[in-house]
Amino acid sequence: MMLDVQNLVHRFPGGVNAVNDVSFSIAAGETLGLVGESGSGKSTIGLLVTRLLAPTGGTILFEGEDITRLPPAALRKLRARLQIVFQDPWGSLNPRMTIGRLLEEPLALHTTLDSAARIAEARRLADRVRLPAASLSRYPHELSGGQLQRVSIARAIANRPKLVVLDEPTSSLDLSVRAGILQLLDELQRETGIAMLFISHDLETVRLVSHRVIVLYLGRIVEQAPAATLFDNPAHPYTQVLLSAHLPPDPAMRLRRHEVTGEIPSPINLPPGCFFAGRCPVALPACTAAPPPAIALEAGHSAACLRIADGTNIIDPVEERA
Ligand SMILES: Nc1ncnc2c1ncn2[C@@H]1O[C@H](COP(=O)(O)OP(=O)(O)OP(=O)(O)O)[C@@H](O)[C@H]1O
Ligand code: SF4
Ligand SMILES: [Mg+2]
């Protein structure tokens, strides 16, 4: 496994339990999608995995090496192989550096290439992400959002990393440029076998790019499955609710959304049982007693719900013919 995360926990100062006992792995060449509503802990997991944040508990193995606690020098070296791309390219690129310098920077940090070789490599990188050569002498404010995200991706792949975390990489971009960025990521993965953790609240995008998908609710994994299985056969009641809220309009169907009421628990004071129990339409008394264990449904598909044991986990038909 490229990445193996076991029992990851993160509690922010102030008592926010952002990540609660999360375990997953990513293979080389694989894209794992991470979905969940705002505040479910997606970005925190991205920061922990890239060790921009130190976890409160659990272990992170990267290429078999325990990177859970590393001294700063070892962390800096790790960054060549383990990269992150953020949502906002405007905020993550130094506005006073030319695109050429921005592309040379990771090479200066992690290689022994001399200046001429770095310039040549920066050109190659720009070409690889389909940035016009003329953009190398430009500044970030002179580029479009889509072009800037290409710069961020080029910087992330400059040192041929094994894993890239993409935290909402297309969410700040116009719909018309998103497809081009997703296409580029797909090409890069096919060429280099890079593993990707793709974070997004946009379910359609996640379905498109991911091999497997994890659904988070309040920092806990409620379900994980191959992408097609998750979207066609969601097992956890929360996943069913989440997907039904994003049903595409279809005039031939009388779509039924699962409406849920009830309070979302505070991450500072989480309940002892299933975090979804207060809103779940099919909750049982036992659901509030202890965290439900993950139940395997089929190969690679599991969900943490007490209703799965006897097959009563499906809320009700999502759609009906009109
Ligand atoms: N630096 C911080 N200090 C304290 N709490 C934080 C900090 N960063 C995030 N949190 C809290 O941790 C929880 C998880 O936040 P996180 O940003 O990981 O969620 P997310 O799933 O990425 O949300 P979004 O979809 O809005 O990006 C939230 O309750 C958030 O308020
Ligand atoms: S464990 Fe209980 S409360 Fe949680 S999703 Fe399943 S049925 Fe609903
Ligand atoms: Mg986030």
Between the alpha carbon of residue 58 and those of residues 8, 122, 160, 260, 274, the distances in Å are: 4, 38, 27, 33, 21
Q: pLDDT tens digit string along 171-191?
A: 999 988 999 999 999 999 999
Q: Is 95 helix (H, G, I), strand (E, B) or coil?
A: coil
Whose C-alpha lies nearest to ligand 2, atom 8?
Answer: 283
Contact 217, 18 (CB under 8 A): no
Whose C-alpha lies nearest to ligand 2, atom 7?
Answer: 283
Owner of token pair 């070892």 = 74
Q: Where in the chain is the domain with CATH 3.40.50.300?
A: 3-214
Whose C-alpha lies nearest to ligand 1, atom 29?
Answer: 39
CA 288 to ligand 2: nearest atom:
3
Q: Of the residues 217, 258, 282, which should be mutated to test ligand 2's pocket, given the most ligand atoms within 8 Å of the CB?
A: 282
Q: How confident is the model at residue 111 (pLDDT cuts 50, 70, 90)?
A: very high
- Structure confidence at residue 210 (pLDDT): 98
- 3-214 has CATH 3.60.20.10 classification: no
The Cα 77–Cα 190 span in angstroms is 25
Q: Which protein residues are within 6 Å of ligand 1, measured from CB?
A: 12, 14, 16, 18, 36, 38-44, 201, 267
Q: Which ligand is nearest to the CA of 241?
A: 2
Between the alpha carbon of residue 160 and those of residues 120, 266, 321, the distances in Å are: 16, 40, 50
User: Is residue 254 scored above 90 in pLDDT?
Assistant: no
Between the alpha carbon of residue 158 and those of residues 98, 211, 245, 261, 310, the distances in Å are: 16, 24, 39, 47, 50
Q: pLDDT tens digit string along 193-221?
A: 999 999 999 999 999 999 999 999 999 99
Question: 134: burial class by Cβ within 10 Å (0-12, 13-18, 19+)?
Answer: exposed
Owner of token pair 């310098």 = 101
The mean per-residue pLDDT over the stretch 7-26 comes to 98
Give percent of the chain above pLDDT 70.
Answer: 95
Ligand 1 centroid–CA 43 distance in Å is 7
CA 287 to ligand 2: nearest atom:
2
Instruction: Give the mean pLDDT of the chain.
Output: 94
The mean per-residue pLDDT over the stretch 84-94 comes to 93
Ligand 1 centroid–CA 45 distance in Å is 10
Q: Enumerate residues 6+ apart whose C-beta is below 8 A from 117.
A: none
Whose C-alpha lies nearest to ligand 1, atom 27?
Answer: 38
- Nearest of 151, 160, 152, 155 to residue 194 by alpha carbon: 160
215 HSE (CA, 13 A, CB side): 28
Q: Is 2 helix (H, G, I), strand (E, B) or coil?
A: coil
Contact 207, 227 (CB under 8 A): yes
The Cα 229–Cα 212 span in angstroms is 9
Q: How confident is the model at residue 258 (pLDDT cuts 50, 70, 90)?
A: confident
State phi, psi for 298 to the nearest 5 degrees. Answer: -160, -175
Cβ neighbours around 99 below 10 Å, total: 27
Pairing type for strands 301-303 and 220-226 reads antiparallel
Evaluate if pTM is beyond 0.85. Answer: yes
Ligand 3 centroid–CA 282 distance in Å is 29
User: Is residue 287 scored above 80 in pLDDT?
Assistant: yes
The mean per-residue pLDDT over the stretch 271-276 comes to 97
- Structure confidence at residue 261 (pLDDT): 86
Overall size of the chain counted in residues? 322
